Structure 1
Amino acid sequence: MLDTRRDTKAEIGAAALRLFAERGYAAVSVRDIAERVGIRPSAIYNHFPGKQDILVGLLESHMERLLAALARGVPGTGDPAARLDAFVRLHVGYHIRRPDEVFIAYMELRSLEPENLARIKTLRRRYEAALRAILEDGRATGRFAIDEPFVATMGLIAQITGVTNWYREGGRLGEAEVVELYVTQARRAVGAAMPQTQDREDTCSTDR
């Protein structure tokens, strides 16, 4: 007999992701998730101890995929401006393609129990540290005009994450155009020189 537990677990996660994005974590029950998947509520507990564990799994997976994409797509050394471009392309492209994940990754931090919140914050700090290192290098080499790298890091992440608030597929601007606009805005935000030509190659290597 084939072991279908892995598929069922993935279906539970996908259903929960959509429901949490649609209704909010607090308004979704285990029964709601089970009905969306088409299984009995008791079957959920074969894969997750409870609803909180489903949320934690979704948030951890989101951050782990983002960190893996960061490691593949953004150099740890070299020209700070080029690294900033790569970071912004990765971040904006990733977030455009995963609006539900991004929504709950920010809005449902409030729903995490303290121990689980600490786990997710640790992953988020690793990601933020990568951008901060780029900004610190740019400041140290005179490429960027920023006063406080930590504040610049938090402000820039908020700015480029905001794309999910308005971007919709099929709109006036395509994904590639939006990504490059954010790259330009990020350079301006840190006082970096504009490149002679915009490299429009999509360096975001994440899966759609």
Structure 2
Amino acid sequence: MSNSKPDTRTTALAVAKRLFVERGYSKTSLTAIAEEIGISAPSLYWHFKSKEEILFSLIEQDLDRFISMITENVRDLSPADRVETMARRYILIQLDRRPDSPSAVMDGDAGASEALSHRRMLQIAELDHVLTDDHAHRIRSMQSTVYHLFRAALEEGAASGVFSVVDASTVAFAIISLCENVQSWAKPGGRLGPDEICDQYTILIRKMIL
């Protein structure tokens, strides 16, 4: 069994994420983050140039995980299977990010914070305008990855005559909007479970594209 501990950078990101959620970005200092992990503030500068870079790293880390979960092993699927697989994964991820999702409830406050952290980090970046132009561009580029994959699948299906799609961009945005907003109404313990919600959304998406 390995007894290795997380490196300082990994620990700092985890602590910063928690403090940003609990206290807010503006009320969390680099000194507070350093004190939580038992190092001096100057030592933290070996890993991050600024608090903004920590926030960027957190968003980048979460987005990279999000994109990987949605797109893993989908490129060789048929256009229809690609759209359906990515949509189902997207929906399941969104449902698990609700503050009252089973994983958050099971893990208590820490789980709830983890479930909300990605959205909260993005809100901080967008509302407080704290990211540098380069970092903001990088995040926008990452955010568009899933859209481009949906659009490519829709264009491929339309070109082969499988889909009745007039404008792939519009439909890609519509599918993403459906998936993104499912957490606004679906509740744990409700009439439909996650898989059933995915089934219903899949039916809606098929009606949009076939």
**Fold similarity call, TM over 0.5:** yes
Structure 1 distance, partners of 2:166, 2:206, is 15
Structure 2 counterpart of 1:136? 155
Structure 1 distance, partners of 2:121, 2:137, is 14
1:122-176 C-alpha deviation (Å, 9 max, x unpaired)? 2222222111111112222333333321122222212211123344545554332
Counterpart pick for 1:122 among 141, 161, 164: 141
Counterpart pick for 1:162 among 169, 173, 181: 181
Change (3 A) 1:50 1:128: same
Structure 1 counterpart of 2:50? 50
Structure 1 distance, partners of 2:40, 2:152, is 46
Structure 2 distance, partners of 1:87, 1:81, is 10
State yes or no: 1:91 paired with 2:110.
Answer: no
Structure 2 distance, partners of 1:10, 1:152, is 38
Show structure 1 runs of 5+ residues with no match: 193-208
Structure 1 distance, partners of 2:46, 2:17, is 18
State yes or no: 1:182 paired with 2:201.
Answer: yes
Percent identical pairs in the alignment equals 27
Structure 1 distance, partners of 2:197, 2:51, is 36
CA RMSD of aligned residues (A): 3.0
Structure 2 distance, partners of 1:166, 1:13, is 31
Show structure 2 runs of 5+ residues with no match: 98-114
1:63-110 C-alpha deviation (Å, 9 max, x unpaired)? 2223333442423442x2221110111212233334424414642442
Q: How many residues align?
A: 187
Structure 2 counterpart of 1:63? 63
Q: Is the 8 A contact 2:25 2:124 kept in 1?
A: yes
Structure 1 counterpart of 2:14? 14
Question: How far apart are residue 60 of structure 1 and its match?
Answer: 1.3
Q: Is the 8 A contact 2:11 2:37 kept in 1?
A: no
**Secondary structure in 2 aligned to 1:75?**
coil
Amino acid at match of 1:174: G
Structure 1 counterpart of 2:100? none
Structure 1 distance, partners of 2:119, 2:56, is 14
Structure 2 counterpart of 1:81? 80
1:164-202 C-alpha deviation (Å, 9 max, x unpaired)? 3344545554332333333233223x233xxxxxxxxxx
Structure 1 distance, partners of 2:188, 2:18, is 18
**Secondary structure in 1 aligned to 2:87?**
helix
Change (3 A) 1:102 1:155: farther
Which of structures 1 and 2 has the larger relative contact order (alpha carbons within 8 angstroms, sep 6+)? 1
Structure 1 counterpart of 2:104? none
Counterpart pick for 2:119 among 103, 118, 126: 103
